[in-house]
Amino acid sequence: MEKFIIEGGVRLGGEVTVSGAKNAALPILASTILAPGRHTIENLPMVSDIKVMRTLLPYIGAHISNGRALVVEIDEIKRPEAPYELVKTMRASSLVLGPLLARCGYAKVALPGGCTIGARPLNMHINALRAMGAEITLEHGYIEARAKRLEGQEILFDNPTVTGTENIMMAATLANGTTIIRNAAREPEVVDLTLYLKKMGAKIKGEGTDTIVIEGTERLSPSTHRIIPDRIEAGTFLIAAAATHGTVTVKGCIPEHLDALLLKLKEIGAAIEIMGDVIHINGPSKIKPTNITTLPYPGFPTDLQAQFMALLTMAEGTSIVTETIFENRFQHVPELVRMGADITVEGMTAVVKGAKKLVGTEVTATDLRASASLIIAALAAEGTTEVSGVYHIDRGYEKIEDKFSALGANIKRCMEE
């Protein structure tokens, strides 16, 4: 197992370029199942979640190339399945459910099982596909779905599920008739998937709003696409700059995807300058407290909650952090407390009493974004911090220690004794 050893107290400075968005790449790679022929997907981040998808697609029957630009050809579906050994390492493998069902009328996908941030069931995906005429059984830890041809349907989600919207949108592109998804997710990653589906010939309207209309077609054709930049990676670096009173330029991002975060960074006293696809941040000398509530896009993203909380532990006052998306996304709190933070959790709310000087110690990452939170805390802390469980961070961040080192951080990856 690997860990990071981080010497804190360094003001970050310099430039960092954002990689492609993992959460756009995953559904777009799954969508290649919908059309035989040669798809070319560029700007893929080299992260372990994408590696899992690069294993799953060939398992299903794809021929794929190597490298950052991925050529995928699935002329024949060999195994319309996502086996447990792959799904357990990456729950977003469930994104092949809709495309397989639409392409070959059958899909067998392992139920993902537990996740540290919450139960994360797939009931909305399953209910929607059933409403579209799929026969679905849940046995022995697998979802088995059958449908000669899915029927267009009006779907209303209890809450705007991101991968639920993506799964149903992909399934609906080859359905008979029109599907309307209401209370749809509005995330930029859903919009990027829609862009690629439309390049393949899908007839879709309303992406980026809470109502998406998909008119089913007989077939789709492969195309090429460049994945959008990762707004969560960009946000992570912006928060790290603010936490270390640094001056950082984040390049190759889409600033409007970060509006909710930028508003909060200004509230805590950071100076932000936007020039095209570049965001320049001057971290404040004194961090002001503020309150954040995570919400579906365009609200404050749950995937930046842990990182922003690390920043708030050093604010001159008390902040309230409310997590409304996942029921167990405060796993970073006990670890931050071990570094000297004063945080009390009451249900879905954390009260962060600031003005604490964090002190380095050994901490353990429990999930992808909690890892990023602990790295930010370690960069700002006095002394040395050892962050173990580094495999979590590699799921969603490409060479994060190299990018932070290029900003002046003193961070080393090494093997745990």
Which of 122, 184, 227, 261 forms a contact with ligand EPZ (CB under 6 A)? 122
Which of 396, 407, 409, 411 forms a contact with ligand EPZ (CB under 6 A)? 396
Which of 56, 241, 368, 378 forms a contact with ligand EPZ (CB under 6 A)? 368
**Beta carbons of 388 and 374 less than 8 angstroms apart:** no
Nearer to ligand EPZ (CB atom), residue 182 or residue 203:
182
The C-alpha atoms of residue 407 and residue 393 are separated, in whole angstroms, by 18
Q: Please, what is the minimum distance in Å from the beta carbon of residue 320 to ligand EPZ?
A: 20
Which of 12, 29, 47, 92 forms a contact with ligand EPZ (CB under 6 A)? 92
Q: Please, what is the minimum distance in Å from the beta carbon of residue 309 to ligand EPZ?
A: 15
Helix ranges (DSSP H) in 268-406: 305-312, 332-338, 368-380, 391-394, 400-406
Active site residues: 115
Q: Examine residue 32 and tell whether it contacts ligand EPZ (CB under 6 A).
A: no
The span of 114-122, 202-210, 313-321, 400-408 binding ligand EPZ (CB under 6 A) equals: 114-122
Helix ranges (DSSP H) in 276-320: 305-312
* Orientation angle between helical segments 162-172 and 123-131, nearest 10 degrees: 20
The span of 112-120, 205-213, 220-228, 260-268 binding ligand EPZ (CB under 6 A) equals: 112-120
Residue holding tokens 């969603």? 396
- Tally of residues, the chain: 417
**Beta carbons of 70 and 85 less than 8 angstroms apart:** no
Q: Examine residue 196 and tell whether it contacts ligand EPZ (CB under 6 A).
A: no
Which of 43, 302, 319, 385 forms a contact with ligand EPZ (CB under 6 A)? 302
- List the interface residues with ligand EPZ, window 6-25 (CB under 6 A): 23
> How many residues line the site for ligand EPZ (CB under 6 A)?
23
The span of 122-130, 197-205, 344-352, 379-387 binding ligand EPZ (CB under 6 A) equals: 122-130
Q: Examine residue 325 and tell whether it contacts ligand EPZ (CB under 6 A).
A: yes
Helix ranges (DSSP H) in 149-281: 162-172, 188-199, 231-243, 259-267
The C-alpha atoms of residue 236 and residue 228 are separated, in whole angstroms, by 16
Burial of residue 144, with CB atoms counted within 10 A of its CB: 0-12 exposed, 13-18 middle, 19 or more buried: middle
**Beta carbons of 160 and 324 less than 8 angstroms apart:** no
Q: Please, what is the minimum distance in Å from the beta carbon of residue 34 to ligand EPZ?
A: 18
E strand or H helix at 51: helix 48-60
Q: Please, what is the minimum distance in Å from the beta carbon of residue 303 to ligand EPZ?
A: 5
Which of 39, 125, 257, 403 forms a contact with ligand EPZ (CB under 6 A)? 125
The C-alpha atoms of residue 90 and residue 85 are separated, in whole angstroms, by 9
DSSP, res 11: P
E strand or H helix at 313: none
Q: Which two tokens stand for residue 147?
A: 């449908």
Nearer to ligand EPZ (CB atom), residue 119 or residue 351:
119
Nearer to ligand EPZ (CB atom), residue 80 or residue 164:
164
Q: Please, what is the minimum distance in Å from the beta carbon of residue 168 to ligand EPZ?
A: 10
Centre a 10 Å sphere on the Cβ of residue 297 and count the other Cβ atoms it contains. Answer: 20
Nearer to ligand EPZ (CB atom), residue 328 or residue 410:
328
Cβ contacts of 159 within 8 Å, gap of 6 or more: 124, 183, 296
Tally DSSP H helices, then E strands, for the chain.
14, 24
- List the interface residues with ligand EPZ, window 149-178 (CB under 6 A): 159, 161-164
Q: Please, what is the minimum distance in Å from the beta carbon of residue 325 to ligand EPZ?
A: 5
Nearer to ligand EPZ (CB atom), residue 123 or residue 224:
123
Q: Please, what is the minimum distance in Å from the beta carbon of residue 284 to ligand EPZ?
A: 27
**Beta carbons of 223 and 73 less than 8 angstroms apart:** no
Q: Please, what is the minimum distance in Å from the beta carbon of residue 221 to ligand EPZ?
A: 25
Centre a 10 Å sphere on the Cβ of residue 142 and count the other Cβ atoms it contains. Answer: 18
Which of 4, 326, 330, 397 forms a contact with ligand EPZ (CB under 6 A)? 326
The span of 120-128, 274-282, 341-349, 376-384 binding ligand EPZ (CB under 6 A) equals: 120-128
**Beta carbons of 352 and 319 less than 8 angstroms apart:** yes
Which positions lie near ligand EPZ, rule CB under 6 A? 23, 26, 92, 118-125, 159, 161-164, 302-303, 325-326, 368-369, 396
